[in-house]
Structure 1
Amino acid sequence: MLTKEDTKKILAFVKKEPKLIQDISHHIGKSWVTTDSYVNSIAKESGLIQVKTFREGTKGAIKVAYWNYAESLESDEIKEKLFDRIRLLANKKDFDPMEIYQFVDNKKAKAFIERYDDPFISKNQKLVSCLKGVESELFCFSGNLSWINVTENKVKIIAVLEELLKRGVIIRVLCRIDVASLTNLNIMERLMKKYPNQIEIRHRLQPLRGFIFDSKRARFKDEKSPQDFKGKELEKNVRMFYDIYDDEWIKWLQNVFWNLFRSSIDYKQRLEIINKIYLK
């Protein structure tokens, strides 16, 4: 049975240069017949490699697997265009996370909705269990940090964050730091004083709202309300959640986060500027 590990080995091996099936067989420690079946399966399902048989029908037939750069470039081009939009946009209403979700293998992603009245009370998103499952690192794409005030089935998210910090989890946050977000920032600062060097917050206007839990899972949220529409297209407030488990897409999302994070200003510097303006 073709495993994820064997798939990765074959793809990495073939990407370097075209390989004979026999070479791949030695590389992964499988028989020629099994390897040939694996390669054909990967070629069919992913399109990242192709197979060519030379002198087919003769005793000296040679079967070669090679990297399909056209397919790879198309995938890279999609991610590049998505990143350009994320990098340039500032408002969450300008980017729907479904634009990312739609390109993820549906076997490695899940979406669901939640209708709500109070934006700070949630019942179905299971954010508490997602957060409690974090082992080492939490990345957060935020707006004004309002999510820290959410209560899910009577459990306060801010209390769950403190549980993570007690376990040594590192939390990095991208958010908008302005006059409207100072109250939420003050709440986070209390945790930062109790757990120094575990929380890093930087100012960035960006359209994503969501998390990356370790390197295992990403979740993004999109909210729509009746006020967003002129007619009666929507009768009640709705949240859409998009969970992604695909390793390749999670790695890309981590790269997006780090790219935005590195080029953003530290929250203390941002606060100094705000204080100079408003405390004159």
Structure 2
Amino acid sequence: MAGNDSSVFMHSQLGTIDLVPESRQPHRIRKRLNRRSRVSTATIFIPNSNDETPEEHFPLQTLYTRTSQPRFVNRYDSREILLVIDGSCINNGGISQPPTGGCSFAYKGTGRSGLAAAFPFSAGQGDGGTVGFPLEQTGPGGEHYAASSNRAKLRAVIAGLEFREWQEEGWKRIVVATDLEYVVFGATRWLAAWVRRRWKTRKARQVANRDLWEELHGIIDRLSHLGTEVSFWLIPSRSIIKHASSLVQDTKDVARKAATVYDTSTEEFTRLCGIEV
């Protein structure tokens, strides 16, 4: 299986990405959400200007009072940073061939936007501020799930938010940019309603990807208690700024490559931990 023979991918200059399969995690109890649970939801990010691309609104810069590494920092509020995420799925919904997914998140530059991409499950590839990785065959609880585009993008959000202890760098808000309404509205509006309806949609259908939604909820809730807000910025699929943004396009390219660069999808849910990056 590609990449599972090495637990650490070394950046040539910027640090390491530690790969920690779920079976190597200290035992922890997964918080399941039910009708009695208090649901923490994220907020919607409203840009100061609708004409600015993500990299214009959040230019890449280094604030040494927070970290020696560059971040996409809000030009209107230096307490906020940006993560751009994407996901891709080959044979999405296919039957004749199993679908395979790829995920990506940019946290300090990629390709034409800054630095090259890193593919930590494939040793020796890349060195930079965007990470691409395969969508695992199992979720955090060990159950198997078919790959889908929605699942890949949701998984990318989780990976980006837990990649670093962002609150320790002093950021008051993490803005996650994506073009998928399913992720944005799910995290900010629909999640609480799904839980109240016992994980059913308004049409009484079972909510997909419950395991990842509960995982994301735990991260949002934890960051909130530590003083860091999570917001989502919806970049409309057909908007001018999406197509004008090299950062958004590069992140999408990395997700597509991650879906094809591995012979098989990684089986076990694996956490990516950035160290000195």
TM tier, smaller: under 0.3
Structure with the larger helix share? 1
Based on CA coordinates, which of the two structures has the bigger radius of gyration? 1
- TM-score when scaled to structure 2? 0.24
